[in-house]
Amino acid sequence: MFFKTFRENFFDRRPFPHYLFQNFIENSSGVVEDLELELQEFPNWKRKENDLYSLYQTNDFKSFKTFQYPELYSFRQFLSQEVKVFLQNITEVELIEEIDVNGSCYSEFDGLLPHNDLIETRKFAFVYYLSPYVWKKEYGGQLILFNSDNEELPVTEAKEIYPARNALMIFEVSNKSWHAVKEIMTKSYPRLSINGWFHSLKPQHKAVSNSTTNLISFHNPLKKGVPQFDVFLNDWCKNDACISNVQEKFADTSECCIAQFLKMQCHNEMLNILRCSEFEEVGPLNKCKIYENLTRNRNSSLSQFLNSFRTTEALKFISRLTGCMMKDCKISTSVYKILKGCYTVVGDDDLLQFQHKDYALETYLFLGEGQWSKDFGGRISYIGNDDEEELVTFYPQSNSFTMVLRDSGAASFLKYINSSCCIEVYMICIRYHNVKIEND
Answer whether 337's CB lies under 8 Å from 274's CB.
Answer: yes
- Statement to judge: residues 194 and 268 lie in one domain: no
Q: Which domain holds residue 362?
A: 212-433
Per-residue DSSP letter, 267: H
Percent of the chain whose pLDDT exceeds 90: 77
- Statement to judge: residues 255 and 364 lie in one domain: yes
- Statement to judge: residues 251 and 324 lie in one domain: yes
Percent of the chain whose pLDDT exceeds 70: 90
pTM of the model: 0.92
| 198-251: pLDDT as tens digits | 999 887 776 655 544 445 666 677 666 566 788 899 998 889 999 999 999 999
Please give the backbone phi and psi of residue 80, each rounded to the nearest 5 degrees, phi first.
Answer: -75, -15
Whether cis (ω within 30° of 0) applies to the bond prior to 190 is no
- Sign of the CA dihedral 362, 366, 371, 374? negative
Average pLDDT over residues 21-33: 93
Give residues with Cβ within 8 angstroms of 82, minimum separation 6: none
Does the structure show a pLDDT above 70 at 97?
yes
Of 8-22, 136-150, 230-244, give the range with the top mean pLDDT: 136-150
- Statement to judge: residues 225 and 192 lie in one domain: no
Is residue 438 one of the residues assigned to a domain?
no
- Statement to judge: residues 186 and 225 lie in one domain: no
Answer whether 29's CB lies under 8 Å from 71's CB.
Answer: no
Does the structure show a pLDDT above 80 at 181?
yes
Please give the backbone phi and psi of residue 361, each rounded to the nearest 5 degrees, phi first.
Answer: -95, 115
Is residue 439 one of the residues assigned to a domain?
no
User: Torsion angle of alpha carbons 342, 53, 141, 12, nearest 10°?
Assistant: 100
Asked which of 148, 170, 200 is the last residue of a domain, the reply is 200
Is residue 90 one of the residues assigned to a domain?
yes
**Band of pLDDT at residue 112, cut at 50, 70 and 90:** very high
Cα–Cα distance measured from residue 204 to residue 207, given in angstroms and rounded to the nearest whole number: 10
